Amino acid sequence: MRRTYRYYDLIMAAFVTSLLCSNLIGVGKPVTIAGFTFGGGALFFPLSYLFGDVLTEVYGYARSRRVVWAGFAAVIFASFMSWVVLTIPPAAGYTGQEAMERVFGATPRVTAASMMAYFIGELMNSFVLAKMKVFTEGRFLWARTIGSTIVGEAVDSALFYPLAFLGILDQELLLKVMLGNYVIKVAWEVLATPLTYLVVNFLKRAEQEDYFDRDTNFTPFSLKD
């Protein structure tokens, strides 16, 4: 009999929301704070990795994979919706078309790069965490969450920024933003470790679940639990 969970759908919703917001707001805007340059979306994108860690740790890789696919579908739909709305001719007298295009008019290249980097990075994050959990026999949660983020975010950053902005941004700026994003995302995960412990421990008690991926099929191309 398939198990049902009280909080799984809520974590999925939080994951997809953080993913959509970080992709729509600030993804192409480099910012500099205290001399440190990074992409504006990097301030909140790590939330999706935090939720991904929680999902894999509590519910297992297969259920986390379903959420990754849900996020992938949501990004595709949001991109399609943006394209349709921006393509439809504006009403007479409307003066906000240019602003809408600047904010929501991501090029197909940026959209494709974002989706590829997200999909591969998130699955790598879940895969590494699941494997480390079995290897450590469920100990050292902090090492699993930080270690998986180091790998997943490295893949995400290394794919997204060159694929999206190589030849558009100055190469020095591109490298600064890419490295800055990576440092911000990993540091975010480290700082969020106490919160991750609280959420994971709460969910394990509430759901009576602590899944170990000992016999899991790790193919990314499946929606099976």
Q: What is the 3-state secondary structure (H, E, C) of 44-80?
A: CCHHHHHHHHHHHHHHCHHHHHHHHHHHHHHHHHHHH
Please list, in sequence order, all residues whose beta carbon lies within 8 angstroms of the beta carbon of residue 61, skipping any fewer than 6 positions away.
Answer: 126, 127, 130, 213, 216, 218
Q: How many CB atoms lie within 10 A of CB 14?
A: 18
Helix or strand holding residue 102 (H, E): helix 97-104
146-158 per-position pLDDT tens digit: 999 999 999 999 9
Q: Return the minimum-mean-pLDDT range out of 8-12, 75-79, 205-209.
A: 75-79
| pLDDT in the model for residue 201 | 97
Beta bridge partners of 166: 169
102-134 per-position pLDDT tens digit: 777 776 888 888 899 999 999 999 999 999 999
* CATH 1.10.1740 is held by the domain 8-89+96-206: no
**Lookup result for tokens 């469920």:** 138
Beta bridge partners of 38: 31
DSSP state letter for 38: E
| Residue 1 pLDDT exceeds 60 | no
| The two three-digit tokens of residue 93, written as one number | 């007298």
Every domain of the chain and the residues it spans: 8-89+96-206
